[in-house]
Amino acid sequence: MSGPSRRALGTGALGLLATSPALAGGLAAPPLTHVFDLEVLVGSDQELGEIGGGRRRDIPITGGTLSGPGLTGQVLAGGADWQTLRADGVTLLQARYTIRMSDGAVIGIVNTGVRRASPEIARRLTAGETVDPTLYYFRATPVFEASGPHQWLTESVFVSAGERLPDRVRLRVYRFD
């Protein structure tokens, strides 16, 4: 059984917002503010086989950096990106890792996303080739586990745009304001 696509649901929801009398006139699309960039180093993937509607694998996170206006940190080794690669070129992603900020605080991140590409581009990405990021869609929604001076990360919704390289993932993270 198949239902409407996420795009159709999103378009329908936007139409509902635009025509809903309770929301008409004052609801605008929220602006995005760039918060920081992540460069997440990754190791070789570990294949689990065909599970849950696609090829399942996990990719160890081995390090990296966080940099942005007034923010710096190091991605710590020990996390992983769990992926389901579907035959239609869609890869479902869930990465969990930690960052040690320059002030010593440790922040947890759970980053859930989607990478979508034509079958040929998906094959190239999976093979570890460098592919122009304009040729595929890679978006995610990071959720932060933080306290103290970084608790503000737990109080907003964030989105990211990504790029997959052979040994790393680059993410540009934005806050919905």
Of 116, 44, 106, 54, nearest to 81 by C-alpha is 44
Of 90, 91, 108, 112, give the one whose Cα is nearest residue 99. Answer: 108
23 or 161, which is more confident? Answer: 161
Give SS3 for 155.
coil
Mean pLDDT across 72-93: 94
Among 172, 135, 173, smallest CA distance to 153 is for 173
Instruction: Say whether pLDDT at 94 is over 60.
Output: yes
Query: Domains of the chain, with CATH numbers?
Result: 31-176 (2.40.160.20)
- Which pLDDT score is estimated for 24? 58
- 48-62 pLDDT, tens per residue? 999 878 999 999 999
CB neighbourhood size of 53 (10 A): 10
Angle at 5 between CA 109 and CA 161, to 5 degrees: 35
What is the rounded average pLDDT of the residues 37-44?
97
Tens digit of each residue's pLDDT (9 = 90 or more) over 122-159: 889 888 899 999 999 999 999 999 999 999 999 999 99
Instruction: In whole angstroms, give the CA distance from residue 4 to residue 11.
Output: 11
User: Which structure tokens are listed for 138?
Assistant: 């890679």
Query: pTM of the entire structure?
Result: 0.82
